[in-house]
Chain A
Amino acid sequence: MQEILKNELSIEKSRSDRRGVRFEPVKKHATDYLSAQYLRKGAPRLPELSEFDTVRHFTRLSQQNYSLDAQFYPLGSCTMKYNPKAYDTLSVLPGFAGAHPFAPESAVQGTLELAYNLQELLKQITGLSAFTLQPAAGAHGELTGILTARAYHDAHDGKGRTEVIVPDTAHGTNPATANMAGYRVVNIKSASNGCVDKEALKAALSEKTAVVMLTVPNTVGLFEPDIAEIADMVHQVGALLYMDGANFNALIGLAKPADFGVDIMHLNLHKTFAAPHGGGGPGSGPVGAAKHVAPFLPHPMVACENGRYTLQGDYAQSLGKMKAFYGNMAVVIRGYCYLRQFDAATLKDIAENAILNANYVRACLKGKFNAYFDRNCMHECVLTPPDPHATEVHTSDIAKRLLDYGFYAPTIYFPLIVPEALMVEPTETENKDMLDAFVTAMEKIYEEIQTDPQLVKEAPHNQPVKRIDEVSAARNPNLRW
């Protein structure tokens, strides 16, 4: 069928002298205030659209997206849980949204009180002594955490510590972070059960070790049963244990990282704490620290003195600042809202149901898409497809075929240690009916792999575009109009 309405760029819809907003006329022009050397020559090539054109353009684009609100989005390690609608409204109340970061403290007591309250709640659920809400994302939190550790070591005669140990199951951000903090990355292989190989860890640990970075539960969805022993090993050589809390949804209310011996960790408010992912951000990556490490966190910190909330900057041992101003407050508000809707008795329901849902999917797909590590998992399961050497159908094909059935794809080809990995994280906010539907789709794809592999290999068939040749984009990059 001939396409009459083409999917155009805004610039292709642009007509000169159309406009979507107008401002009051000025009395004098730029040339009256600034000499020619300071002035722009030539107007920028921005689209010229009416307000309605703009609304229709972006609304139509939004309809070319899978999203959590409309689709099951089992993206492993990303914790795509429902984002409560009340928080959308509450996070943009004019009192919060209109607050300038340099406004007098007396004028921003509400924002500071909320931030302080959230810090206290995060301390409570992790058992750590202090939290900063400054980092803008998970990876930013990791860097904050590792620089905190570095400041700690520098203050404790630890300048000879040059290495950070990272298991091969870690997110790519972990080694990249350690490198940005100026450390040498020592990768260690996992044991055959998917957990830390204690012998390998022991061999890697030395007086040169500054930090061991562990994701708990790890990226194959397993809890480290020897976590306390690992923490002891780390501490015995004078190193610090950093916990990547990206997967904290599996532990919230169930266990406190401080009890395992974790010294520093980050949390993702856009994962465990129900803030939306925004198509790629903004996130928020609060970092918590045990008492001995807390003085090295970035400044300023939100403090409370006699009922008055302040941003305190004079921390002599602080690592410095991680971003301008303070944290991503609009995200922080959402995280706080979420935590206030649970009490001690119900908080664990989050983790328990996340774990139940992941194991249910794993159990239902057993025999067709087997878990790489065939045992009970935590909040996510890492599945593998039928042997691609025999079927010639790969994980990437299965991911695309899922789109046809109305599901976003799991995280694929990660963790790296699992060949052809399909990492499924349903989260606790999906109901059993949706999980059953997902299982049915996967079973159907399994059948198709046997009967009509080409159908799977050429998927997707019903998306706005067919399978994209990604290499064509990199060959001769077109990155702008």
Chain B
Amino acid sequence: MFIPNTKQDQQAMLDKIGVKDIKELLAQIPTRFLYPALDLPKALTEAELTAHIHDLAAKNQPLKNFIGAGMYEHFIPEAVPALSSRGEFLTAYTPYQAEASQGTLQTIYEFQSCMCALLNMDVAMASHYDGATAMTEAALAAHRVTGRTEIIVSSLLHPHYKEVLKTYTQHMGITLAEAKNTQDGVLDINALQEQITDKTACFVLPTPNFLGNLEDAQAVSAVVHAKGALLVAVVNPVSLGVVQTPGEYDADFAVCEGQPLGTPMNFGGPGLGVMTAKKAYVRQLPGRMVGIAQDKDGKRAFVLTLQAREQHIRREKAASNICSNEALCALNAVIYLTLLGPQGLKEVAELNLERAHQLAEKINAVKGFQVNMKTPFFNEFVVQCPVPATEVISKLEAKGIAAGYDLGSTCVQMKNCLLVCATELRTPEDLQAYADALGGI
């Protein structure tokens, strides 16, 4: 099927090599290891495989999705997958031979440019695995730049991001600390001011935070920089159609999960780690970067550049071991943003704001359920339920609705709290159906 060599081909090739059979080519492998018994199922034809995979896909229940919590369901214009799935992009690899990879290289350059424009930052790298690993690399870069050993994160950072940061830093002599939040679900800036010292390498500020609330980033930035620490912002890229950007509040590094920009949720992966920085830190960015060069006729061309940072040159002295990244998701993102343009991005961001606020108001009208409308939020918010969130989730699942994220799963005091998201894909009818379903509990 996928192996074209015929028996005649094989014989001709063996003759050329000068061996009598393939086994002779395997002489380096001790015979006792060769051809082990394998217990594998029957090989499927393409038709059988297609049926089998469709069966598995059908075991997933399509629910009307109101979950966000770091991965968001947005509208993806058909041109995005139609273009990014072209074999010329899909089946190429890292553009080592630049002259024969100008297509991939130019798309990466355009991606870097779009990310800089979106986040209002100076430089961007080609992509990291996901938002959590991009944030971790940014925090590590801050540690290298400042020579300081403490990293403070907001207590309202995504719980998975906290875990990934812990995993990566556990053997690096780095201390992790959390800054407290207020009752209103935002960072306690006064407490942070007390906590941050001249040993602090950076503060990691998610905004919107894990509860969906927007932070007073300008004030946080002042507090962080006053102590000579760096600010790592973690943002929602779609929100930046309307929300204040990391560049505006002087973030040193700004990262995000880029999945909302044209990549489906896929049960959480692949995501798209977007990592940007101030120009001064360009050599601290891990992974690939594309720059403009000239060919020998002086014509504009694109190449991988500043590679002296990378593992294939620096080996154990490299800043990161990253090699393969999420290029195809970055391609989705740049196509998505090219289709939307500044106006489309603003429209989709406003539509998210509107739908989420409409939903919050509808939920507030349901007896026993409450949303704090005082704290500004983008497209998700916390619902105080009269019963445990798990109960709400299972009752709404029976009505074909994925109700939200159970905040009690990471914080016992919040067992009655549900994190609910409405993107532009949730219609006014969907919002009403959600509120009605809550009313039935």
Contacts and interface: CB of A to CB of B under 8 A. Distances in A.
A241 to B, nearest CB: 15
Contacts of A102: 67, 69, 71, 405
B27 A376 contact: yes
A188 to B, nearest CB: 13
Interface in B288-338: 288-297, 299-301, 303, 305-306, 308, 310-318, 320-329, 331, 335, 337-338
A191 interface: no
A352 interface: yes
Contact of A103 (B39, B170, B402): B402
B38 A344 contact: yes
Best-surrounded residue of A69, A81, A99, A464 (most CB of chain B within 10 A)? A99
Interface string A451-474: 000000010100111111110111
Contact of A172 (B33, B36, B315): B315
Contacts of B100: 65-66, 403, 408-409, 460, 463
Interface stretch (A16-24, A201-209, A286-294, A442-450): A16-24
A279 B327 contact: yes
B70 A325 contact: yes
A94 B110 CA distance: 29
A309 to B, nearest CB: 9
Best-surrounded residue of A26, A51, A82, A400 (most CB of chain B within 10 A)? A26
Contacts of A69: 87-88, 90-91
A364 B16 contact: yes
Contacts of A97: 264-266
Contacts, number: 666
A64 B302 CA distance: 12
A150 B228 CA distance: 34
Contacts of B271: 323-325
Interface in A343-359: 343-344, 346-350, 352-353, 355-357, 359
A267 interface: no
B123 A147 contact: no
B18 interface: yes
A468 B98 contact: yes
A317 interface: no
A324 to B, nearest CB: 4
Contacts of B75: 23
B388 interface: no
A367 interface: no
Contact of B44 (A109, A330, A331, A341): A341
Contacts of A274: 2
B103 A320 contact: no
Interface in B326-358: 326-329, 331, 335, 337-351, 353-354, 357
Interface in A366-418: 376, 378, 399-400, 403, 408-409, 411-412, 414
A76 B98 CA distance: 17
A83 B85 CA distance: 12
B16 A281 contact: no
Contact of A34 (B266, B320, B353): B353
B413 interface: no
Nearest to B283: A477
Nearest to B241: A40
A159 B376 CA distance: 48
A75 interface: yes
B187 interface: no
A333 B53 contact: yes
Contact of A139 (B38, B323, B348): B323
Contacts of B20: none
B229 interface: no
A279 B328 contact: yes
B148 interface: no
Given A46-B345, A256-B33, A468 B90 contact: no
A313 B176 CA distance: 22
A151 B98 CA distance: 41
A173 B320 CA distance: 9
B411 interface: no
A45 B328 contact: no
A376 B17 contact: yes
B60 A95 contact: yes
Contacts of B269: 101, 136, 282, 323, 325-331
B406 to A, nearest CB: 8
Given A48-B341, A62-B89, A343-B43, A469 B294 contact: yes
Contacts of B265: 97-101
Interface stretch (B126-134, B193-201, B433-441): B126-134
A298 B28 CA distance: 34
Contact of B67 (A28, A100, A181, A481): A100
B387 interface: no
Contacts of A24: 351, 424
B163 A321 contact: yes
A340 B170 CA distance: 38
A177 B107 CA distance: 28
B365 interface: no
A478 B291 CA distance: 5
A198 to B, nearest CB: 15
A324 B294 contact: no
Given A55-B83, A349-B3, A479-B282, A280 B17 contact: no
Interface string A226-268: 0110000000000000000000000001111001100000000
17 contacts: A26-B351, A38-B244, A49-B341, A59-B86, A64-B103, A69-B87, A90-B57, A100-B267, A103-B65, A109-B59, A110-B58, A110-B59, A325-B130, A326-B269, A355-B25, A465-B102, A467-B99
Please give me the 4 A-B residue pairs with the lowest Cβ-Cβ distance, nearest first. A325-B268, A182-B171, A101-B268, A95-B57
Given A329-B268, A340-B49, 18 more contacts: A27-B354, A61-B106, A75-B96, A90-B57, A95-B60, A102-B71, A175-B315, A185-B316, A253-B35, A254-B34, A276-B90, A278-B331, A324-B70, A376-B17, A466-B296, A468-B294, A474-B308, A479-B289
